[in-house]
Amino acid sequence: MAYPSTRSSISLALALTLLTAGVLTLTGAVTVVRVPEIAAEVEGVIQLPAPSLTGEVSVEEAIASRRSIRSYAHAPLTLQELSQLLWAAQGITDPVRGFRSAPSAGATYPLTVFAAVSEGGVLGLEPGIYEYLPELHGLRLVRRGDFSEEFAEAALGQAWVREAPVCLVIAADYSRTTRVYGERGVRYVHMEAGHVGENIYLQATAMGLGTVAVGAFHDDEVAEILQAGLSPLYIFPVGRVAP
- With a cut of 60, say whether residue 8 has pLDDT above it: no
The mean pLDDT value for 22-39 works out to: 41
Q: Say how many residues make up the chain.
A: 243
- With a cut of 60, say whether residue 179 has pLDDT above it: yes
CA–CA distance from 189 to each of 37, 43, 99, 116, 223 (Å)? Answer: 35, 31, 16, 22, 17
pLDDT of residue 17: 38
Phi-psi region of 88 (alpha: psi -120 to 50; beta: other; left: phi over 0): alpha
pLDDT band at 38 (very low <50, low <70, confident <90, very high): low
Classify residue 23: in a domain, yes or no: no
What's the DSSP call for residue 222? H
Classify residue 11: in a domain, yes or no: no
Classify residue 73: in a domain, yes or no: yes
| Pairing state between β 40-42 and 111-117 | unpaired
Classify residue 231: in a domain, yes or no: yes
Classify residue 8: in a domain, yes or no: no
Q: What percent of the chain has pLDDT over 90?
A: 82
- With a cut of 90, say whether residue 7 has pLDDT above it: no
| Pairing state between β 55-57 and 28-30 | antiparallel
The mean pLDDT value for 96-124 works out to: 98
pLDDT digits 0-9 by tens, 61-79: 999 999 999 999 999 999 9
- With a cut of 60, say whether residue 175 has pLDDT above it: yes
- With a cut of 60, say whether residue 224 has pLDDT above it: yes
- For residue 148, what are the domain limits? 35-240
CA–CA distance from 235 to each of 11, 12, 151, 182, 200 (Å)? Answer: 28, 31, 9, 26, 11
What's the DSSP call for residue 23? S
- With a cut of 70, say whether residue 25 has pLDDT above it: no
Where residue 101 sits, what CATH number does that domain have? 3.40.109.10
- Alpha-carbon distance of 63 to 43, in angstroms, equals 39
pLDDT band at 152 (very low <50, low <70, confident <90, very high): very high
Closest to 114 (Cα-Cα) out of 8, 1, 19: 1
Task: Share the mean pLDDT of the chain.
Answer: 88
Collapsed DSSP state (helix, strand, coil) of residue 224: helix
Global confidence as pTM: 0.84
Cα dihedral angle (192, 194, 197, 199), rounded to 10 degrees?
Answer: -70
pLDDT band at 16 (very low <50, low <70, confident <90, very high): very low
* Residue pair 135/6 in contact by the 8 Å Cβ criterion: yes
Classify residue 3: in a domain, yes or no: no
Closest to 7 (Cα-Cα) out of 70, 121, 98, 110: 98
- With a cut of 90, say whether residue 9 has pLDDT above it: no
Minimum mean pLDDT among 4-13, 103-112, 140-149, 226-235: which range? 4-13
Domain total of the chain: 1
End-to-end CA distance of the chain: 40
**What is the DSSP track for 127-182?**
SEEEEEETTTTEEEEEEES--HHHHHHHTTT-HHHHH-SEEEEEEE-THHHHHHHT
Phi-psi region of 217 (alpha: psi -120 to 50; beta: other; left: phi over 0): beta
